[in-house]
Amino acid sequence: MRPVVIAANWKMNTTPADAGELATTIAGRTRVQGVTRVICPPFVSLAVVRDALAATDPGVAVGAQDVHHELAGAYTGDISAPMLVGLAGWVIVGHSERRRDHAETDERIGRKLARAVEAGLRPILCVGEQLADRDAGRAVAVVDAQLGGALGDHDPEALARAGMVIAYEPVWAIGTGRNALGSDAAAMAEAIRTTLVRLGWGASAADVPILYGGSVTAANIGEFLAEPSIDGALVGGASLKPDEMAGIVGRAGVTAAARSAATA
């Protein structure tokens, strides 16, 4: 049974002065059996969030929002995988905003993925199409190419052992007012697993958790978690609001309980 995962991406929000309290509040509001919870604060708040969660709810994992594709060197302002060891157990790789704002290529994202796995970090690999791609009927082809470019040089067994998670982000549904449907996400999840099989994953493709990440809220999470192929969410703006996170994780708990009962 695939795990149900809710990952909070705080993006460029919070400071070390308030991140620990927010993390503690969210942790206290989301103690739901069967749900894997991850909070990804900015780099400067990783230590504060780590310490706050260790003291109040060690069951919540800490993730970083990015990682560099080299181990060390003259890369001013960047953070390498070895630097994250001890601060985070998870890391987001290839987020649509990194692709957009930093011109990250699939090849570079693949190298970041390698560094993360080598360091023992559990990666959340993000993929997703733009509005023009969706309207032109190229959505599946774009995501297929992103996966091939990032994963093509990797050993599927190593990534499976690392517990890689894939987050599907339809970029056209993030902050635009245009919403994706649960059926859209489910169809893409199936396409992603088909691509993984093509890339040599075999039966292991069915075990990879796939999250939805397009303006997730407590009001719409149920539509996505009702789809058997969707295993949770990568939550953006709503992850800064304890009430929203309580609703999202609470609904995820319903899915986790139903899946557990179905396999009992």
Taking the C-alpha atoms of residue 156 and residue 201, their distance in angstroms, rounded to an integer, is 6
Q: What are phi and psi of 29, to 5 degrees?
A: -90, -5
Listed residue (47, 43, 45) closest to 19, CA to CA: 45
Q: Which residues sit opposite 212 in a β-bridge?
A: 168, 233
Is pLDDT at 236 greater than 90 in this prediction?
A: yes
pLDDT at 214: 87
Query: Each residue of 106-129: pLDDT tens digit?
Result: 999 999 999 999 999 999 999 999
Query: Each residue of 134-183: pLDDT tens digit?
Result: 999 999 999 999 999 999 989 999 999 999 999 999 998 887 778 899 99
Residues recognised as catalytic: 95, 169
Q: Give the mean pLDDT of 71-75.
A: 97
Taking the C-alpha atoms of residue 55 and residue 172, their distance in angstroms, rounded to an integer, is 39
Listed residue (211, 210, 213) closest to 172, CA to CA: 213
Q: What are phi and psi of 243, to 5 degrees?
A: -65, -40
Query: Each residue of 6-39: pLDDT tens digit?
Result: 999 999 999 999 999 999 999 999 999 999 999 9
Which residue type sits at 75? Y
Q: Which two tokens stand for residue 168?
A: 């599907």
Q: Give me the DSSP letters along 8-58.
A: EE--S---TTTHHHHHHHHHHH---TTEEEEEE--GGGHHHHHHHHHHH-T
As a CATH number, domain 4-263 is 3.20.20.70
Q: Which residues sit opposite 235 in a β-bridge?
A: 8
Is pLDDT at 47 greater than 90 in this prediction?
A: yes
Q: What pTM value is reported for the model?
A: 0.96
Taking the C-alpha atoms of residue 127 and residue 164, their distance in angstroms, rounded to an integer, is 13
